[in-house]
Structure 1
Amino acid sequence: MKILMIEDNRSVCEMMSMFFKKEKWDATFAYDGEEAVEKFAAEADDWEMVLLDLNLPKKDGMQVAADIRRISPTVPIIILTARDSESDQVLGLEMGADDYVTKPFSPLTLIARIKALRRRVQLSGIANKAEQVTSEFDIQTSHFKLNSKTREAYLNGNLISNLTPKEFDLLKTLASKPKQVFTREQLLQLVWDYEFYGDERTVDAHIKKLRQKIEKVGPKVIQTVWGVGYKFDDSEADDK
């Protein structure tokens, strides 16, 4: 796996370098925000994982996340934050990150998070580029279609573009059982593949971004069931 770790603390980078070598992962390090964007852009199609510290010199980590997402809508991003504010963590997720780890962290915990996120990507079929893709949709309703192999989703015939891996998995989970209400705890287990220790803000942040992308091409189909969770319902999503 080819990893870009963006972290200005060189001691942390040196420590993680040893763990990456043990896993036989190819890691590159960037020590400020401007360097990070330049390195990512230079090999945009090759990176398989980005680890991003929010507190960076020259360019803030939030802006770096936004720049990376403009270059690649799908590369998995884990943010590393020492900030105490919950809003910073949620904002990082809203900027397009797939997960976050709060500093100080255990290297083994970070490795586990990387493996969990990578496993979700692999199971979704992103890594299997050699497989011949059919035009069949594995989820299809009157207004919505989703193909897990191509990682494409359509509402009223319009492509819902620039979905991150987690956003696609979240949409697939909800759409697989239309009108069924999923609690935040259920979505954490089904989509994130590990316990988030009750951090329901993760789900809310991803739902917000997912809705924004869906509503660029069609009506609201992810609905909030107050006090319970979320559901997918496109029964009234008439063509525009």
Structure 2
Amino acid sequence: MSQSSTILVIDDEPQIRKFLRISLVSQGYTVLEAATGAEGLSQAALRRPDVVVLDLGLPDMDGQQVLRELREWSGVPVLVLSVRASEAQKVQALDGGANDYVTKPFGIQEFLARIRALLRQAPAGEAPESALELGPLVVDLAFRRVLLDGVEVALTRKEYAVLAQLARHPGRVITQQQLLKDIWGPTHIENSHYLRIVVGHLRQKLADDPTQPRFIVTEAGVGYRLLDPSSFS
């Protein structure tokens, strides 16, 4: 832990952000602020904070969604700070990747102690890669963008979700059932035609011939895999 650690506060209430900023700066921390989920994700990607303090009630997206998207590419410790006090909300946030949960109103000394605890737990070493390069294809997990030959490819949410899931495990086969469960939900694991349609659209947009794939390989009867980056070296 270092007193020069950077804390990102994602909260839409200016008075809460001001209170936390004054308290954290007085302890020697650098403080970043964001009033929306989208701004918070952008700050997390660009500035690589040591801890994220996340409110669940944001104006543009639910904090649980922010947590899910952050966890797609970052292991940064997250302290949820919310008025939502139900056990179900806490369990959902902790299961979704939060490291700690504090209910508003809160005591500042307890809050600072929890920040110190998260900083002690933070893994040492380099931050995980937020973008995967496959030759001409770049999947930017932090900004949810896909580039082909330097040009952004417009994908639907489902198309991006399938590609991102494959990109997080390059060279490994992801089963149809796993993709359907993760992206469409557990009630759709038998709806393989949904997945075939999305993969077909993906291949069209990536100019990927299924008979001679550059990126997405079909493992008949099993699922799909994204070619390993080493195959492009």
CA contact (8 A) 1:3 1:25 kept: yes
CA contact (8 A) 2:82 2:104 kept: yes
Please name the residue that 1:17 is paired with. Answer: 21
Shift of 1:109: 1.2
User: Helix, strand or coil for the counterpart of 1:80?
Assistant: strand
1:77 to 2:78 alignment:
yes
Could you tell me how far apart the structure 2 residues matched to 1:23 and 1:49 are? 14
1:127 to 2:124 alignment:
yes
Name the aligned partner's letter for residue 26 of structure 1: T
Could you tell me how far apart the structure 2 residues matched to 1:81 and 1:14 are? 16
Alignment of 1:171-190 (within 5 A): none
Alignment of 1:139-150 (within 5 A): none
CA contact (8 A) 2:51 2:118 kept: no
1:61 to 2:58 alignment:
no
For normalisation by structure 2, the TM-score amounts to 0.50
CA contact (8 A) 2:53 2:81 kept: yes
- Among the aligned pairs, what percent are the same residue? 35
2:10 to 6, 9, 15: 6
2:45 to 41, 54, 73: 41
CA contact (8 A) 1:41 1:71 kept: no
Could you tell me how far apart the structure 1 residues matched to 2:105 and 2:18 are? 15
Please name the residue that 1:172 is paired with. Answer: none
Shift of 1:128: 5.9
> Once superposed, what is the RMSD of the aligned Cα atoms?
1.8
Please name the residue that 1:115 is paired with. Answer: 116
Could you tell me how far apart the structure 2 residues matched to 1:128 and 1:91 are? 28
CA contact (8 A) 1:81 1:89 kept: no
Could you tell me how far apart the structure 1 residues matched to 2:121 and 2:38 are? 29
Q: 5+ unaligned residues in a row in structure 2: which ranges? A: 127-167, 170-233
Could you tell me how far apart the structure 2 residues matched to 1:34 and 1:59 are? 8
User: Helix, strand or coil for the counterpart of 2:76?
Assistant: coil
Larger gyration radius, structure 1 or structure 2: 2
Please name the residue that 1:52 is paired with. Answer: 54
Please name the residue that 1:96 is paired with. Answer: 97
Could you tell me how far apart the structure 1 residues matched to 2:76 and 2:40 are? 14
Could you tell me how far apart the structure 2 residues matched to 1:59 and 1:36 are? 11
Shift of 1:120: 2.6
Could you tell me how far apart the structure 1 residues matched to 2:111 and 2:85 are? 18
